[in-house]
Structures are given as structure tokens and as C-alpha cells.
A = this chain, B = another copy of it.
Amino acid sequence: MINSPSLKAITFIATLKPSPADSSSEKIARDLAKELERYNISMEYVRAVDYTIAPGVEADMGDGDEWPMLREKILDADIFILSTPTWMGHMSSVAMRILERLDAELSDMDNKGRLLTFGKVAAVAVVGNEDGAHSIIADSFQALNDVGFTIPAQGATYWNGEAMHKTDYQDLDSIPEKVLQTNKTLAQNIAHLAGFLSQHNYPGEKDEQ
């Protein structure tokens, strides 16, 4: 594995519940983080609902908008992780708000014509008492990739219960074995890919000729 002593990850937790309420999407994010920390990746968490993230698709919507400060954290990190609950089969409105705000990244390039997200890796975590994870992973991969993130092999972890049941991830006695193994593989793949891309970004326009 590439030696990557100083990788940073930022995890956006998209629960609908403000702190300090318990949250399954926060729990799975922290379960994944335990595996990432084995690769010397430093972790930061943003529980998005605790911040004022204005509606809109500009990098700064003014008027108390806290996105610009959160955006700086994303641009400063090598790895972006979105952790969302499942509601009606979909990601939360808080997760969708985060993706909307990332849309502004399509308008900001470096001097090689690259988005500022190029060279960063994204991964996704999804929990729900009900079905929806595959679809949420699909929707979030597409949006995150569209704005410039690279998706490592098997770039997601998730858990949901049996159809029409009510169990929450945070109420399970322990991390299900399959989820634990998925987290281990995901962490290793994130570390490997981010280790490379953080040192060898996509070349951009200047190198294209």
C-alpha cells in the first residue's frame, strides 16, 4: 500500500436529528471511521443539521449561510464521506442539501482547468430500518462523481433491516459481521486510492496537449 501518513477525511452526517440525539447514520459513520483510523487517516465530522446550510446552488448564499466554512473543510480534506439515513427509500433532505451545495464546485477550477475536488476520494454510508440503500448509493455516487470525486472499488457501506420492519442500526447489539467486513474493505480501498490521488492528481488541461 502507498504510504500515506497525513490523509484527512471529512464525514458529513445527514441525520434529520440535531445533536445530541442518537443517530444511526452517525453510528455507522463512526464504525467506518474506526477502520479508516487504522490507516492513519485523521477524521473530522460535520453533523449537517446542526449548521445553517442555505438553499441554493452557489458556493456562498450569504445571509448567515455556514456552507462556505464547511466547504473549506471539504477542500482541505483528501476524503469525503457522506453518511445518510433512508427515508421512504431516499437519502434525507439534509443529504440532498449537501449535494446541492456541492453543485457549485462545477464552477470553480484551478489553473489546470481541474475542479478543486479532483484528486479527492468519496465514499458513502447508508442506514435505514427499511430498504433504499442501493438506490441512495447510486444517487450519491453519481452526484459526488459528477462534481469531481473519485469512487474507490466497493465505495459504500450500508445496513437496513427486513422489509417493513422498524429496527434501527443503532439498536443492534453489535456491528453485523457483514457490515464490519465491508467497512474493512472500504477503508483499505479508500486509503489506497486517496494515497495515490493525493500525491498524483488528474493531469488537467495543461497536460492534455
Contact = CB atoms under 8 A, between A and B. Distances in A.
Interface of A: 1-2, 16-18, 49, 55-57, 87-94, 96-97, 99-100, 103, 115, 117-119, 130-135, 137-139, 141-143, 145-156, 158-165, 176, 178-179, 182, 184, 188-189, 192-193, 196, 200, 202-204, 207-208
Contacts of A93: 55, 93-94, 96-97, 100
Contacts of A161: 162-163
Contacts of A164: 159, 176, 178-179, 182
13 contacts: A90-B134, A93-B96, A93-B100, A119-B153, A131-B131, A131-B132, A137-B146, A145-B153, A160-B163, A161-B163, A184-B208, A192-B202, A193-B202
A88 B148 CA distance: 13
Contact of A148 (B130, B154, B196): B154
A135 B141 CA distance: 11
